[in-house]
Amino acid sequence: MSTAEQQPEGTTSSTTGTTSDALLGPADIRELAAVLGVRPTKQKGQNFVIDANTVRRIVRTAEVRPDDVVVEVGPGLGSLTLALLEAADRVTAVEIDDVLAAALPATIEARMPQRKDRFALVHSDAMLVEELPGPAPTALVANLPYNVAVPVLLTMLDRFPTIERTLVMVQAEVADRLAAKPGNKVYGVPSVKANWYADVKRAGSIGRNVFWPAPNVDSGLVSLVRRAEPIRTSATKAEVFAVVDAAFAQRRKTLRAALAGWAGSAAGAEQALVAAGVSPQARGESLTVEEFAAIAEHKPAAERPAL
């Protein structure tokens, strides 16, 4: 992800003493991309932000604090990275692209040398990252490629439980699904699984004209604040998610029918549902994550693997 515009919204950052002209402007972004031979591709889901106000808005909406250790996925040319470095204590960027990963440290050193020791780069696929350098992350802020947004988000939340607050920019449709509540027509697997970890809500909309190249869809901000207490259940996350996946694989069917394969039979599914206090005639789109957990707890014993 990248950004910015050269007219400062504010003056000097009280946290770092850096000025807003350290951020990348639209001309800077295109020049840097040209030097690197980078052409944003749909395959990689690359759309660089070229509006400084949008990046500052992301940092502000994420409520990044001076003591935060922020992990950013997909930093691209580095404009959000620079804005995060102005506000946070440390930033670790995870970048899969070879060219972008190689160039980012030099961009940080050139534009914000006084903060370079507060920056770390992990050159890897975020789906494969199991540990990060330095102190444990407290926040996740990212412009996620549309094609991998949900799996990357869920993987990061699962692997790094110290992440308390998350703000991601994703395709508007994905944002709606993540933040949907039971009963909403777009409520589904992403909604339930995200809610397993956090309280989720829409945090704003982003137009197409702040990107280069402009995507064919609008974007949305999603805020996730990790639950203070995990969901109380004797079932494992994997067991709960198995119920969720089964329920929405055939979302038009009643849960008695949709969970028949999971339970071993329709009768077994009904038994589990009744024991969990859920109507066998209900559909997955009406259930909370707590109700899915209750169902998982009552999977017929013969079918439930020993832990």
Q: How far is CA 111 from CA 16, 20, 43, in A?
A: 13, 10, 29
* Domain of residue 72, CATH code: 3.40.50.150
Alpha helix (H) residue ranges in the chain: 26-36, 52-61, 79-87, 98-111, 149-159, 172-179, 189-197, 237-249, 255-258, 260-263, 266-276, 289-297
Select from 226, 249, 268 the last residue of a domain: 226
Q: What are phi and psi of 102, to 5 degrees?
A: -70, -30
Position 307 pLDDT exceeds 60:
no
pLDDT value of position 99: 95
Mean pLDDT, residues 209-235 taken together: 92
Q: Is residue 247 part of a domain?
A: yes
49 among annotated binding-site residues: yes
- Between 69 and 305, name the one with better pLDDT: 69
Residue found under tokens 């137009």: 207
Position 177 pLDDT exceeds 80:
yes
pLDDT value of position 213: 83
Position 47 pLDDT exceeds 50:
yes
Position 46 pLDDT exceeds 80:
no
pLDDT value of position 15: 36
Q: How far is CA 205 from CA 9, 19, 175, 176, in A?
A: 19, 27, 9, 10
| DSSP class of 24 | P
Ordered DSSP codes for 251-262: TTS-HHHHTHHH
- Same structural domain, 85 and 143: yes
- Same structural domain, 59 and 169: yes
Contact, 57 vs 49, CB < 8 A? Answer: no
d(CA 105, CA 82): 11
pLDDT value of position 124: 98
74 among annotated binding-site residues: yes
pLDDT value of position 215: 84
How many CB atoms are located within 10 Å of the residue 25 CB?
18
pLDDT value of position 43: 58
**153, amino acid identity:** L
pLDDT value of position 298: 97
Q: How far is CA 137 from CA 25, 82, 133, 157, 158, in A?
A: 28, 17, 9, 11, 13
How much of the chain exceeds pLDDT 70, in percent?
Answer: 90
Mean pLDDT, residues 55-82 taken together: 96
Position 60 pLDDT exceeds 60:
yes
Task: Give the residue from 70, 67, 66, 55 showing the smallest Cα distance to 15.
Answer: 66
- Between 217 and 59, name the one with better pLDDT: 59
53 among annotated binding-site residues: no
- Same structural domain, 76 and 196: yes
Position 6 pLDDT exceeds 50:
no
Contact, 296 vs 269, CB < 8 A? Answer: no
Select from 226, 248, 282 the last residue of a domain: 226
Position 16 pLDDT exceeds 50:
no
- Same structural domain, 173 and 79: yes
pLDDT value of position 305: 54
- Same structural domain, 172 and 286: no
pLDDT value of position 38: 87
Mean pLDDT, residues 204-232 taken together: 92
Among left, alpha and beta (phi > 0; psi -120 to 50; other), residue 235 is beta
Q: Is residue 251 part of a domain?
A: yes
pLDDT value of position 27: 87
| DSSP class of 23 | S
pLDDT value of position 17: 38
The parent domain of residue 293 ranges over 237-298
Q: Is residue 19 part of a domain?
A: no
* Domain of residue 265, CATH code: 1.10.8.100
- Same structural domain, 116 and 190: yes
Angle 143-148-153 from CA coordinates, rounded to 5°: 65
d(CA 23, CA 19): 8
Structural domain count of the chain: 2
47 among annotated binding-site residues: yes
d(CA 149, CA 171): 9
Position 271 pLDDT exceeds 60:
yes
- Same structural domain, 205 and 276: no
